[in-house]
Amino acid sequence: MIVSDSGSNTPPRRAIRSFVLREGRLTSAQERAFNDLWPHFGVSWSPTAAALDFTSLFGNSQPVVLEIGFGNGESLAEMAERDPARNWLGIEVHRPGVGHLLLEIERRGLTNLRVMRQDAIEVLRDGIAPNTLDAVQLFFPDPWPKTRHHKRRILSPELVALLARVIRSGGIFHAATDWPHYAEQMLTVLDGASAWFENTAGVGRYAPRPAHRPLTKFEQRGERLGHPVADLIYRRR
């Protein structure tokens, strides 16, 4: 998205994004996935299009769980396989990760998982009708450890306002991180949104790691480095 201040001479300002697009090479299997599997499991959408219609997208009206930034998608595919009574929608910008998840969908024979290659912020803002999501999950978002990059962290008051609009009353927002400074920021921002979200662990507390969250690829990397993991689980009022 280009944000321009019309009428002034300043050049258009790029919105601050939570990612840097590294194209990365696709394997030949991932190339095939884009050709053969994307038409079945991929969701093409643009910010000028109407909001997604989940019933026609999944062919049923089961509750929908959205994952932001699924990486290679293996933990998302595992969750979707274990919980077929809900529909799962993954959003990721990294093309090889999207290709990897398409292959996982095929390998596991999943029918309840769809994939978008999009900036999740744009989808949350314009692509999802109010009160339609059962849950949103954000696992090990890019930590942007340098102070001057903290503004790129995806978990912010702006994200929380977008989540409050799309998560149904009683629905869940679940975040996890292995960066203590980011965990503290998440706790402050989410506890600060108590008009919308209730901390299931109690104000100021992290949640116990739930058994239903598989180990993710980035979490494994963090574990090898000895990073502690914090889960934050909030219920929409």
- List of residues 6+ apart from 213 with CB closer than 8 A: 75, 79, 139, 174, 176, 231
Strand partners, 68: 91, 138
E-strand stretches of the chain: 2-3, 13-14, 64-68, 87-92, 113-117, 133-139, 167-177, 197-199, 230-236
203, 153 contact by CB (below 8 A): no
Q: Rule CB under 6 A: which residues touch ligand SAM?
A: 18-19, 68-71, 91-94, 97, 119-121, 139-142, 154, 216-219
User: What is the rounded distance in angstroms from the CA atom of residue 14 to the CA atom of residue 101?
Assistant: 29
Q: In the bound complex, what is the minimum distance in angstroms from residue 32's beta carbon to ligand SAM?
A: 21
119 is in an annotated binding site: yes
Q: What is the DSSP letter of 60?
A: S
Strand partners, 117: 92
In the set 53, 142, 191, 231, the catalytic residue is 142
36 is in an annotated binding site: no
**In this complex, which beta carbon is closest to ligand SAM, that of residue 121 or of residue 190?**
121
Q: In the bound complex, what is the minimum distance in angstroms from residue 151's beta carbon to ligand SAM?
A: 13
Q: In the bound complex, what is the minimum distance in angstroms from residue 141's beta carbon to ligand SAM?
A: 5
Q: In the bound complex, what is the minimum distance in angstroms from residue 68's beta carbon to ligand SAM?
A: 6
Establish whether 142 is a catalytic residue.
Answer: yes
Segments in 177-233 forming alpha helices (H): 180-191, 217-224
User: What is the rounded distance in angstroms from the CA atom of residue 72 to the CA atom of residue 68?
Assistant: 12
**In this complex, which beta carbon is closest to ligand SAM, that of residue 25 or of residue 56?**
25
178 is in an annotated binding site: yes
**In this complex, which beta carbon is closest to ligand SAM, that of residue 93 or of residue 115?**
93
23 is in an annotated binding site: no
**In this complex, which beta carbon is closest to ligand SAM, that of residue 143 or of residue 171?**
143
219 is in an annotated binding site: yes
Which residues contribute to the annotated binding site? 67, 92, 119, 142, 146, 178, 216-219
Catalytic residues: 142
Annotated binding site for S-adenosyl-L-methionine: 67, 92, 119, 142
